[in-house]
Structure 1
Amino acid sequence: MELGLLVVLKPSIREEIRKVSELGFATCQLSCWDESLFTDEMIAEIQQACAEYKVKISHIWCGWLGPQSWNLIDGPSTLGLVPEAYRDSRLQMLLKGADFTAKLGVQDMITHVGFIPEDPGDQRYRSLLTCLHYLAIYCKGKGIHFLFETGQETPVTLLRVIEDLNTGNLGINLDPANLILYGKGNPVDALDVFGSYVRGVHAKDGMYPTNGRMLGLEVPIGQGKVDFPSLVGRLKELGYEGPLTIEREIEGDEQIRDILSAKQRLEQLL
């Protein structure tokens, strides 16, 4: 395992990749919520910057358009591919994201699918599977894996989806903090459920929700409920050799301080 950093794809991507290198990372995930950036010109710029600064893109994190309520009340009806009202347009963006990922030479694309229904007999679950099957097969045709970002569904539900789809190119980007922030599970225990499917990991920390409406609070690594020594140890037992990609969802000087502090803590564990 090595450490990486999550960065946002933007027109000034060369500067972002330079920062990744200057902060001492050799890999990064690129997160994109703007499909206008999925161009051949952007691919060339990314490849040139990565060559110059010796940084590898490990994953593409592809977002989607439309309403986004990151809470426990409106989240189920607005996030990911679960809400049928936004499914078609979001699928189209993810297909473009898959094209971009493949052209860039990256093997894995990630997204939040949304609050997947727990009941496998729920019609929304069945229709979601149809959509996900189309997306997974499309990604397979491009030679890439499609990864589920954890958090909005229980580990068992996520495992069931992967088993039901059974396309051979599905995986998981484990965000241990998200499982806690959404109150869906303990990330170390979750590895007993779906550990063999983990192809990416976010290094992020957080607290459990304290009410039934809002997510828990994201905090710097070492200040939350994620047991990173146990998590890293279990990942090693499972043979995971991919990056631990640090994610800190704030901006400015405090974000840089927290990233460097996380880097120091995780280097000791590795």
Structure 2
Amino acid sequence: MEIGVIHMLDVSVKGNMFQVVSDYGFPVCQLCCWDRELCTPEVAERVVRDAREANVRICAVWAGVPGPAVWNFTEGPVTLGLVPEAYREERVEVLKGWADFAEWIGAPAIITHCGFIPENLTDPEYPAVVAAIREVAEYCESKGIGFWFETGQETPIVLLRTIQRLGLSNLGINLDPANLILYGKGNPIDALDTFGSYVRNIHVKDGLYPVDGDRLGEEVRAGEGNVNYPAFMRKLKEIGFAGEYIIEREISGEEQRQDILRTTNDLKLWMQAD
């Protein structure tokens, strides 16, 4: 059970692009990128070289897609993931490109947000959304890699239902417990009763429940929000989770660095809790 960090792909870095991961003392990271122009064999070669030299393992590629992305309740449903029909076809192709990239660098899976998947399974848009996800997931399967949903815009039962509708062997979940809270979609501990067997790794993030119908809740440092991390990690242990704990803190600068270091220490304590 390893601790790591989400790390942005940045080819402008002089020297080793994974040095910051090594400086934290982490042996693993999730590699994240929203720039499709970096999805090339040449960039992949550098990633492999730098990761090897830094002794950092890439546990998944977090795959961003083109077009608008508004993280709220009003514009989110028409901009995020594979749900908006206007961007769906292009995004399917971009995600296939990231699957190629993951194969090139030897990563086991790609991760993405699929968007506000319809809660009502009789919604006429639901079959088209499932079909788009299937196209990407089957392509990943053909490459021998996984397709993992990051939790966020859908309730746990909608995510389970969609996985069951797809019926593929390479599906998994990147569980971000804070997102379930920030979007008001559920309690992450209880969610494990619904989809726990599909959880492949964790985003260590925290947040507060929304108090405004138009805005997400507030993200905070792990341990300061509504995720009960000791209880959450006990439940993960009970169901046999053995994946990575990937720290994500959605701020920047020195405060982000300090929060990551504090969270690393807290995780080690929480792992030891009975």
Tell me the TM-score range normalised by the shorter chain: over 0.9
Q: Distance in 2 between matches of 1:96 and 1:50?
A: 20
Q: Distance in 2 between matches of 1:237 and 1:216?
A: 29
Q: Distance in 1 between matches of 2:172 and 2:109?
A: 9
Aligned residue runs from structure 1 range 1-270, under 5 A: 1-12=1-12, 15-270=16-271
Deviation of residue 195 (structure 1)? 0.2
Structure 2: where are the runs of 5+ without partners?
none
Higher alpha-carbon deviation: 156-165 or 229-238? 229-238
TM-score (norm 2): 0.97
Residue identity matched to 2:234 = G
Q: 3-state DSSP class of the match of 2:267?
A: helix
Q: 3-state DSSP class of the match of 1:148?
A: strand
Structure 1: where are the runs of 5+ without partners?
none
Residue identity matched to 1:250 = I
Q: 3-state DSSP class of the match of 1:134?
A: helix
Q: Distance in 2 between matches of 1:108 and 1:67?
A: 24
Q: Is the 8 A contact 1:154 1:184 kept in 2?
A: yes
Q: 3-state DSSP class of the match of 1:61?
A: strand
Residue identity matched to 1:137 = E
Residue identity matched to 1:238 = I
Q: 3-state DSSP class of the match of 2:18?
A: helix
Deviations along 1:82-132, whole A, 9 cap, x unmatched? 010110111111010001011111111100000000111111111111111
Moved >3 Å (runs of 4+) = 12-16
Would you say how many aligned residue pairs link Structure 1 and Structure 2? 270
Q: Distance in 1 between matches of 2:234 and 2:28?
A: 21
Deviation of residue 12 (structure 1)? 3.4
Q: Is the 8 A contact 1:7 1:16 kept in 2?
A: no
Deviation of residue 53 (structure 1)? 1.3
Deviations along 1:124-144, whole A, 9 cap, x unmatched? 111111111111111100000
Deviation of residue 79 (structure 1)? 0.5
Q: Is the 8 A contact 1:3 1:27 kept in 2?
A: yes
Residue identity matched to 2:253 = G
Q: Distance in 2 between matches of 1:2 and 1:31?
A: 18
Deviation of residue 43 (structure 1)? 1.3
Q: 3-state DSSP class of the match of 2:129?
A: helix
Deviation of residue 42 (structure 1)? 1.2
Q: Distance in 2 between matches of 1:99 and 1:188?
A: 34
Deviations along 1:2-36, whole A, 9 cap, x unmatched? 10100111113654411101111000001110011
Q: Distance in 2 between matches of 1:131 and 1:167?
A: 14
Deviations along 1:135-165, whole A, 9 cap, x unmatched? 1111100000100000100000000000011
Residue identity matched to 1:249 = E
Deviations along 1:21-74, whole A, 9 cap, x unmatched? 111100000111001111112111111111111110001000101111110111
Percent identity over paired residues: 50
Q: Distance in 2 between matches of 1:27 and 1:237?
A: 23
Higher alpha-carbon deviation: 1-10 or 44-53? 44-53
TM-score (norm 1): 0.98
Q: Distance in 1 between matches of 2:49 and 2:137?
A: 29
